[in-house]
Amino acid sequence: MRGRSGRRPGKPDTRGAILAAAREIFAERGYDGSSIRHIAASAGVDPALVHHYFGNKEDLSMEVVKAPIEPAAVMEEIFAEGIEAAPENVVRAFLGVCEGPVSGPAFLGLLRGAVAHQWQALLLREFFTTQIARRVVRRLGTAVDPAELPLRASLVSSQLFGLALARYVLRIQPLADAPREVVVAAVAPNIRRHMIGALDAGDREAV
C-alpha cells in the first residue's frame, strides 16, 4: 500500500518495522517508559534510524496514534441497526478497537500517554470531541434535548475510558478476562442511560 512504484523488495520496510515496534512498546510501557533505544532494539534496527525516519520521539508517538482509527466507518457500524441497538454496538465497537492488533496498542498507548502528559491528554480529548462525540450527537439528532448532549457525550466517554482502564491497563479481575459479550451485556445498559435515558435517577425503582 505504501507506494507501489518506489521502493522494491530487498528493503523490507524498516520504517514499518519501527512503527510496529513503537506501537507495542508505547502501549505496554507508556510514553516515558519507552525509550527510542528499546524501540529500535525491538525492531532490530539502529536507534539512529528511528530519528532518521521520524524526527523525534514526540513525532513518532503521533504517527503511531494517527494511524488506525476510522471514525466514519465505525459510526456506520454502530448505528446500522438503529438507535435502539446503538449502545450495545458502541461497546462492541469500542472493545473491537481496544483489542485490534493495531488499533488496540495505538489507543492504549494514547490513553497511557494522556495520563502522563497534558499534550497527549489534549490530543485524546480533541479526538473524542471532534471525531466521536460530534458524530454521535449528529446521529442522536432530536432524540434527546440538544442542550444536554455535551454532558451525555462526556459521561459516555468516562464509562468507556474506565472500561479500557480497568480491563486492559489495570487488568482488574474478573473484568479483565471476561468474555466480550458479558462485558457488552453488563455495560451497554449504562451507556444507553447516558445516551438516551434520564440524566438523573428518575427511572429508579426497578432495582
Residue-wise burial string across 104-132, b where 16 or more C-beta atoms lie within 10 A, e elsewhere: bbbbbbbbbbbeebeebeebbeebbeebb
Provide the H-helix boundaries in 117-170. Answer: 118-127, 134-140, 149-164
Our finding on whether 145 is near a copy of itself (CB under 8 A) is no
Binding partner of 102, given a copy of itself, DNA, none, CB within 5-8 angstroms per partner class:
none
Is omega for the bond preceding 174 within 30 degrees of 0, making it cis? yes
d(CA 198, CA 176): 29
Binding track over 101-120 against a copy of itself, x by CB under 8 A: ----------xx-xxxx---
Q: How far is the CB of 2 from a copy of itself (least distance, A)?
A: 33
Chain position carrying cell 532494539: 41
Count of residues touching a copy of itself (by CB under 8 A): 60
What is the total residue count of the chain? 207
DSSP letters for 64-85: HHHSS--HHHHHHHHHTT-GGG
Q: What is the CA radius of gyration of the chain?
A: 19
Binding a copy of itself (rule: CB under 8 A), the pick from 13, 16, 32, 67 is: 32
Binding partner of 7, given DNA, a copy of itself, none, CB within 5-8 angstroms per partner class:
DNA
146-185 residues in contact with a copy of itself (CB under 8 A) are 150-151, 154-155, 157-163, 165-167, 169-176, 178, 182, 185
Our finding on whether 140 is near a copy of itself (CB under 8 A) is no
Grid cell, residue 119, equals 499534550
Q: How far is the CB of 74 from a copy of itself (least distance, A)?
A: 19
The site for a copy of itself (CB under 8 A) is made up of: 30, 32-33, 84-85, 88, 111-112, 114-117, 121, 124-125, 128-129, 150-151, 154-155, 157-163, 165-167, 169-176, 178, 182, 185-190, 192-194, 196-201, 203-204, 206-207
